[in-house]
Amino acid sequence: MDDARTLTPPLVLGNKSPARVTEDICAAMEHKPSPAWWAALLIALAFLLLGAVAVSYQIATGIGTWGLNRTVGWAFDITNFVFWIGIGHAGTLISAILFLLRQRWRTSVNRSAEAMTIFAVICAGIFPVIHMGRPWLALWMFPYPNTRGPLWINYRSPLVWDAFAIGTYFTISLVFWYVGLIPDFATIRDRSKSAWRRRIAGFLSLGWNGSYRTWNRYETVYVLLAGLATPLVVSVHTIVSWDFATSVIPGWHTTIFPPYFVAGAIFSGLAMVLTLMLVARKTMRLEDYITHRHVGAMCKLIIATSGMVALAYLTEFFTAFYSGNPYEQFAFVNRMSGPFGWAYAVMVGCNVLVPQLLWFQRVRSNFLVVFVISLFINVGMWFERFVIIVTSLHRDYLPSSWSGYTPTPIEIATLLGSFGLFFTCFLLFCRFLPVIAMAEVKGVLKIGRDVHGSSQPLPPIVAPDAEEVLTCRQAAPIRFAQGEEGAQG
């Protein structure tokens, strides 16, 4: 350990002290926002407004304003839904799965990735609700005692499973995110000079004072939430894929869907994390926190998940060919060479071919190229969902019921509006909350550095006898003076 050559490279550059971390991360909240931030917010708000107008119009008029027809009953709306849910999954991968795998580099990106999850799930949730056509009846999705019998929801339906999956996913993600924020709210409360910020952060910090007994239980809660979120994230996209797989549509009715969807979700989400991180590190001066190591690690995850997605594309074709089912075979020939063949080409190009560039170290270390690749993947993964949904539906069994599909401007405006909502939320998050989990980053500062601090060898751990072990736990809580300043009375 003492040999500098054997040390792992540091996770955070610039030889920072914990106090410096607090300064750096809080700077974004305490200073006036830059003109670039205002410009970005205004653009995002403009798109959000466009989406709000489009959604209001289609709710007032009906979903006949969409390009759907009798054959293609799902298109843009469900594509957007699956796309946004997928984006969210990388946030949970980073916050929960990498936490359980003890990948400590995640500390620099987990807060913003979790925020991304929450905003993406909000965007996703809008689409099934407006797809209902009468969104004011959305409460019918809940099993509440009603005057119609009571007539209950049908628990055999994947659409009901989906409502529960998305609801649980959103709630657990939000709770996980908030639990992670509590110590940071306490930090903001104790350093803030503005009375308002101190009051709000104080309210949200729940009276956190950094007592180690609290930390001890907090760590347990964090592990438990990570352990719950990990199977949850797999279940959510599995259930989303069942919306399709439990039907009898050729191209949908296949057992590969759950792993295929989960891999695709994480793939697309990682691309979105990269897109956001690369912008955030530049504009918010977080270069020391989000380093080549973080970007490199995420690029490698993208290569892995891109490989899984490519394997799924091939397996689907093989299964169709091997099944001997002419409808299944036709669905895939049509997918590749039918009227939407161009969309299939975009999907394969963006999801399979372009990410292969990341095998090269020189590409991975050029952030501009990585950024462009991440945009390609975002586009490709949107088209993947579009291809799966629309090409499977538009020519299913009887040629007499085949049809085409063209999105209307209303649908495109709604998609743009969801991006507006997502970026509005994200920009507000960057401005008002700590984008990096300060309390977690402080814990990894020492990694890859010389052991500093105490020059004497540490005394050995006292063999704890039964009574002594309990002293700290049993002692009555200490009552310190209470004060707005958070200092001694």
Window 146 to 175, contacts with other proteins (CB under 8 A): 149-158, 160-161, 164-165, 167-168, 171-172, 175
User: Both tokens of residue 325?
Assistant: 């089912």
3 state SS of 414 = helix
Q: Interface residues for other proteins in 253-282 (CB under 8 A)?
A: none
Residue 116: CA count within 13 A, CB half-sphere: 30
Q: How far is the CB of 439 from other proteins (least distance, A)?
A: 4
User: At residue 109, what are phi and psi to the nearest 5 degrees?
Assistant: -115, -10
Q: What is the DSSP string of 302-328?
A: HHHHHHHHHHHHHHHHHHHHHH--HHH
Q: Which two tokens stand for residue 406?
A: 């063209």
- Using CB under 8 A as the binding rule, the residues of this chain from 237 to 256 that contact other proteins are 239, 242
CB nearer other proteins, residue 6 or residue 456: 456
Position 208 contacts other proteins (CB under 8 A): yes
Radius of gyration of the chain (CA): 25
Segment (H or E) for 29: helix 18-30
Task: Please tell me whether residue 30 binds other proteins under the rule CB under 8 A.
Answer: no
86, 381 Cβ separation under 8 angstroms: yes
- Tokens 């005394």 found at: 459
Nearer to other proteins, 60 or 248 (CB): 248
Report the distance separating Cα 23 and Cα 30, nearest Å. Answer: 10
- Min. distance of Cβ 352 from other proteins in angstroms? 30
Decide: is 440 part of the binding site for other proteins (CB under 8 A).
yes
**Site stretch for other proteins (CB under 8 A), options 40-48, 313-321, 382-390, 462-470:** 462-470
DSSP code of 109?
T
Stretch that binds other proteins, among 210-218, 287-295, 349-357, 384-392 (CB under 8 A): 210-218
Q: Say which amino acid occupies 412.
A: I
- Binding segment for other proteins (CB under 8 A), chosen from 29-37, 272-280, 341-349, 468-476, is 468-476
What is the size of the binding site for other proteins (CB under 8 A)? Answer: 98
Pick the closest to residue 81 from 434, 465, 414, 433 (CA basis). 414
- Quick one: which of 73, 133, 231, 326 contacts other proteins (CB under 8 A)? 231
According to the binding rule CB under 8 A, does residue 214 interact with other proteins? yes
Q: What 8-state DSSP symbol labels residue 151?
A: P
In the set 293, 431, 446, 449, which binds other proteins (CB under 8 A)? 446
Please name the helix (run of DSSP H) or strand (run of DSSP E) that holds residue 185, with its range, or none.
Answer: helix 158-191
* Burial group, residue 340, by CB count within 10 angstroms (0-12, 13-18, 19+): buried
By beta-carbon proximity to other proteins, the closer residue of 97 and 165 is 165
Amino acid at 39: A
458 sits near other proteins (criterion: CB under 8 A): yes
Among residues 23 and 287, whose Cβ is nearest to other proteins?
23
Q: Does 399 bind other proteins (CB under 8 A)?
A: no
Residue with tokens 């704890």: 464
Give the residue with the Cβ less far from other proteins, 321 or 480.
Answer: 480
Token pair 């008002």: residue: 432
Taking the complex as a whole, the smallest distance from the CB of residue 183 to other proteins amounts, in Å, to 7
* Residue 219 sits in the site that holds other proteins (CB under 8 A): yes
- Cα separation, 58 vs 112, in Å, equals 33
Q: Which residue's CB is nearer to other proteins, number 31 or number 452?
A: 452
The type of residue at 64 is G
Q: How far is the CB of 222 from other proteins (least distance, A)?
A: 9
Q: Does 63 bind other proteins (CB under 8 A)?
A: no
Contact 442, 434 (CB under 8 A): no
Contact in structure between 97 and 233 (CB atoms under 8 Å) = yes
* Residues of this chain, 108-147, that bind other proteins according to CB under 8 A: 143
The region of 292-300, 304-312, 313-321, 461-469 touching other proteins under the rule CB under 8 A is 461-469
Nearer to other proteins, 36 or 206 (CB): 206
Residue with tokens 């200073």: 31
- Confirm if 95 and 114 have CB atoms less than 8 A apart: yes
Q: Which residues contact 231 (CB under 8 A, 6 or more apart)?
A: none
- State whether residue 363 is helix, strand or coil: helix
Q: Is 411 in the site for other proteins (CB under 8 A)?
A: no
Residue 296 beta carbon to other proteins: minimum distance, rounded to whole angstroms:
25
Interface pick for other proteins out of 220, 255, 365, 401 (rule CB under 8 A): 220
Question: For other proteins, which residue of 126, 232, 271, 331 counts as binding (CB under 8 A)?
Answer: 232
Q: Which of 39, 42, 100, 206 binds other proteins (CB under 8 A)?
A: 206
Q: Which of 14, 307, 349, 486 binds other proteins (CB under 8 A)?
A: 486
Nearer to other proteins, 122 or 228 (CB): 228
If binding is defined by CB under 8 A, does position 309 make contact with other proteins? Answer: no
What is the CB neighbour count within 10 angstroms for residue 221?
Answer: 12
